[in-house]
């Protein structure tokens, strides 16, 4: 079990706002997560939250190297008897459209969904995670995070004003990334195409945004 328990509430008020089924789901998810083997499931920042929509419960895991442990941020939306997981927007907890290869969709009882959620999080936590970065004139203008053998993923950040002229106005990024940073190593020892994108540099002559 990690030093910090998995899926603590982001705010003390969150626990008071949970409905009966959400309490069952959250307790079961925490119980299963506490049994994850530390050797193969590296620690990560995690929490549960209740956004402004009271019908929604969000469980999140940060897998990045930022000051808060993210981006990237992955997580699950529990709404009634439905569960959906994928990448999450780091500010509003939105799920992406179209869905990515990480996506999970399920229905069931709170305990059934908690078991599926725990298995999904455990699988994601074991994956290799890399961040692709694109630079122009020494400044990063775009990045995205890829998981395991997923060859594509949503862009985490894109600053149009820093991009080269040919990429501005929604034209996209050109070809291979300028830099690849390994955020988490795979625990199953079976790296996919993401491992072949390029060797991460320990540093470089680049400034961030």
pLDDT above 80 for 170: no
* pLDDT at position 150: 66
Instruction: Verify that 44 and 83 share a domain, yes or no.
Output: yes
pLDDT above 60 for 134: yes
Higher pLDDT, 86 or 53: 86
Residue 138 pLDDT class (50, 70, 90 cuts): very high
Structure-token pair, residue 98: 């179209």
* pLDDT at position 1: 39
> Does residue 1 lie in a domain region?
no
Average pLDDT, integer, range 126-148: 91
Q: What is the mean pLDDT of the chain?
A: 83
Last residue in a domain, options 104, 126, 148: 126
Instruction: Verify that 22 and 97 share a domain, yes or no.
Output: yes
Instruction: Verify that 122 and 53 share a domain, yes or no.
Output: yes
- For the ranges 34-38, 89-93, 107-111, 179-183, the maximum mean pLDDT occurs at 107-111
Instruction: Verify that 153 and 56 share a domain, yes or no.
Output: no
* Rounded CA separation 121/35 (Å): 13
Instruction: Verify that 151 and 171 share a domain, yes or no.
Output: yes
* Rounded CA separation 190/52 (Å): 40
Mark residue 165 as left, alpha or beta (left: phi above 0; alpha: psi -120 to 50; beta: remaining): alpha
Domain extent at residue 77 = 8-126
Of the chain, the percentage scoring pLDDT greater than 70 comes to 83
- Which sign, positive or negative, has the C-alpha torsion 42, 115, 105, 10? negative
Last residue in a domain, options 126, 151, 176: 126
* Rounded CA separation 164/61 (Å): 33
3-state secondary structure of 142: strand
| pTM of the complete model | 0.80
Last residue in a domain, options 102, 126, 150: 126
- Please give the tally of structural domains in the chain: 2
**Strands lying side by side in the sheet with 104-107:** 8-9, 45-49, 57-62, 73-79, 82-87, 104-107
Instruction: Verify that 72 and 105 share a domain, yes or no.
Output: yes
């Amino acid at each position: 079990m990690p030093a910090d328990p998995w899926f603590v509430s982001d705010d003390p008020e969150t626990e008071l706002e949970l409905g009966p089924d959400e309490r069952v789901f959250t307790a079961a998810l925490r119980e299963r997560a506490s049994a994850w083997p530390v050797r193969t499931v590296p620690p990560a920042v995690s929490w549960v939250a209740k956004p402004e929509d009271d019908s929604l419960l969000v469980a999140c895991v940060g897998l990045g190297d930022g000051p808060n442990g993210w981006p990237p941020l992955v997580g699950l939306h529990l709404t009634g008897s439905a569960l959906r997981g994928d990448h999450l927007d780091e500010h509003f907890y939105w799920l992406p459209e179209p869905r990515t290869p990480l996506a999970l969709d399920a229905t069931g009882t709170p305990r059934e969904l908690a078991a599926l959620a725990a298995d999904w999080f455990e699988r994601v936590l074991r994956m290799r995670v890399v961040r692709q970065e694109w630079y122009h004139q020494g400044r990063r203008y775009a990045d995205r995070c890829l998981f395991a053998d997923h060859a594509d993923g949503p862009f985490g950040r894109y600053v149009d004003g820093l991009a080269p002229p040919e990429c501005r106005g929604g034209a996209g990024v050109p070809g291979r990334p300028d830099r690849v940073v390994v955020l988490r190593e795979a625990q199953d020892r079976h790296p996919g195409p993401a491992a072949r994108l390029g060797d991460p540099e320990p540093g470089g002559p680049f400034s961030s945004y």
